[in-house]
Structure formats: structure tokens, C-alpha cells
Amino acid sequence: MTRIYLVFLSLLPFIGLMPGCSATTPKSAHAQSEQYTILHDGIKRTYSIYVPGGTGNSQAVPLLMALHGGGGSDKAWPRYTDYGFERLADSDKFILVYPNGVEGHWNDGRDVQHLHAQREPIDDSGFLARLIDELKRAYPIDPDRVFVTGASNGGMMAHRLAAEHAEKVAAIATVIASIPRNLQGKLHPSHPVSVLMINGTDDPLVRWEGGPVRFGRKSIGAVISTEQAVRFWVNHGNCSPAAETIDLPDAYPDDGTSITRIGYRNCKSGSEVVLYKIVGGGHTWPMQAERRRRIGGMLIDSLVGKRSREIDACDVIWEFFKKHPDRHEPSDD
């Protein structure tokens, strides 16, 4: 598969939300979102920040950092989630930041040589940790409520950031992502982190069973299985090995997916590890609202698998984060 197909693939999730489709942009979605730059390791890095009204006083508020997928950007991310995080920031009053990877990609550890960020390699983990510190100085951010989410390449980066800078992050939530296989045995988080994973069993790129990340015949690095990634965080958090498993109601039987929630409690520092297993789900962001045109949706599903409408990932992620502030208890590692 040529590089142009990789770029096309990275844009597929956005097709149904491109201008001219039925998506409605909230008035607040762009009103206070501005792009800034920061120099890290001699490289000019950019990020956009969304500060909803009512967060300018002295009361500390949460910070949510959202990491785009491969080929994405701070501008494309809000459309990808149908402005779900902006809506939640408006209602629950938290600061939302969208950092940009170098040339649209993150150095998540897969060592994919045709990607500039991974070939160099770019210190994305250090950049994101520094950005968190800079934002804490500039805004009234609660240091115990710093959260990171990401999809695909961004989700893999969230795993790496939480493992390498656990002192900066209270919880992470990843969608259609796992831990890069190259990092297996190299990650030693300094203290427990609450983790939510949302993965589809029929994802043709980041496969549930792990192995090469591929589309067509081209391999784009490799990851461990979803269950291995969950086990990594369960073991690190010293969670109870007994999982609480719940089959969620099938609210949209026509979407071809169903969801099982698998949770691990009684972890150190009150942390928790949760997996939303989307049976039949593909490499897509779960969303209840269907904004895609019929033909565009069918095309995307044929290439990257079914999108579940059983949950809205933004809502699930934010509810998880609200329950898991950092309690700063170091691990024994």
C-alpha cells in the first residue's frame, strides 16, 4: 500500500463530518479555541486550547488533553468526535487541549521508519509532559485532575505518556489502540494510573489479538493484544484479578455491534482499569449520533469496520475521568 492510501485511511473517519454533510457545529466550538506554539528539543510544536466560559476565575478546573490519530490534527479532532468534548467542557467546565504530532503523527514507540516522528525519534512523551506543566502555570488547572485521551496512534501515545510520566496524569482513556509491542517490558509507571480502553473485536488495523498494525499488505508496526494491555495496567495497579463483567443493553441492534464492560477494581490509590469490548466493532470512534451520509458511512465501514452507536465515547470517557482524580500514592516499582 502506498503512502497516499495511508493518508486516505487516516481521513476516513472524518468523511461523514466534512463540510456539506449534516453535522452541526456548536457555536461555542470555535469561539475560544486558539492555536499556540511551544519550542521543545529545538522543534516548534503547536497545540490548540479550548477554554469554556466560566473557567477564568481562581477555582481549579480539570485539564483534558486529546491526542489525534495518525494523520490527524487539532483542527480535525473536534469534527471526529462531533464536538463532543467541547460540549462537555462547556457543561462541566474543564480546559481542553489538542496538541499536534509532528507531521500528523506521534512517536508512540512502534518505530515505523516512514513516519518522521518515529524515525527521528521525536520526544513526544517529553513534549506532552512539558505542555502539561506549561498549561498548569498559565491556567487554574487542578494538578490532581489531568486526563489524557487518544484514538489509534494518539491512544498508543497516551499509553506511553501515562507509563513514562505517570506523575503527570491521573487517568487515560484510549480508543482503538493498544500498547506498542516494542515497549513491552520497557514501561515502568511510577504510580498507578486509572485506565479506560475502548476497542473493537473486529478492528482490521489495531487487531484485538495484537500483532502487526496493518491495512492492506503494509505493516505499520505492531502492538500487544487488547487483553495484554489491560493486564499490564491491572498488574501495575495491583487490582483485584477478578473482573466485573456487564453486557450493556443493545440499544441499536442494527449497527451490528454490542458492548461488554469489563472492570477491575480495588486497585492501588483507588485507581481502576476498565475495558469496553465492542463486539463486532471496527477502527472507529463510537458515537450515537449518525452524521455520516449513507454511502460515505458504508465506504468507511467496508474499509475499517463497523462503528458502534451503543455508546458515545466522549460521554463514557468523561464520566470515567470524573471518578478518577490522582491520589499521588507511589507504587512499589
Q: Which domains does the chain have, with CATH numbers?
A: 3-322 (3.40.50.1820)
> Could you tell me if 103 and 115 are in contact, meaning their C-beta atoms sit under 8 angstroms apart?
yes
Order the strands of the 43-50 sheet from edge to edge: 33-40, 43-50, 95-99, 61-67, 141-151, 171-175, 194-200, 273-279, 258-264, 244-247
What pLDDT, in 10s, does the model give residues 48-79? Answer: 999 998 876 668 999 999 999 999 999 999 98
Mean pLDDT across the stretch 240-245?
A: 95
Strand ranges (E), the chain: 33-40, 43-50, 61-67, 95-99, 141-151, 171-175, 194-200, 211-215, 218-223, 244-247, 258-264, 273-279
Asked if pLDDT for residue 298 goes beyond 90, the answer is: no
Helix ranges restricted to H, the chain: 3-11, 28-31, 76-80, 84-92, 116-119, 124-138, 153-164, 226-236, 294-304, 313-322
- Give pLDDT, residue 141: 96
Return the SS3 of 147. Answer: strand
Mean pLDDT across the stretch 288-311?
A: 76
What pLDDT, in 10s, does the model give residues 185-224? Answer: 999 999 899 999 999 999 999 999 999 998 777 889 999 9
Mean pLDDT across the stretch 77-88?
A: 93
- Greater model confidence, 32 or 33: 33
> What's the farthest any 2 CA atoms get from each other in the chain?
54
> Could you tell me if 192 and 331 are in contact, meaning their C-beta atoms sit under 8 angstroms apart?
yes
Gap between the Cα atoms of 167 and 312, Å rounded: 29
Gap between the Cα atoms of 128 and 161, Å rounded: 8
- Give pLDDT, residue 321: 98
Mean pLDDT across the stretch 279-290?
A: 90
- Give pLDDT, residue 219: 87
Gap between the Cα atoms of 69 and 333, Å rounded: 31
- Greater model confidence, 270 or 25: 270
- Which of 3-7, 21-25, 125-129, 294-298 is least confident? 21-25
Mean pLDDT across the stretch 140-152?
A: 97
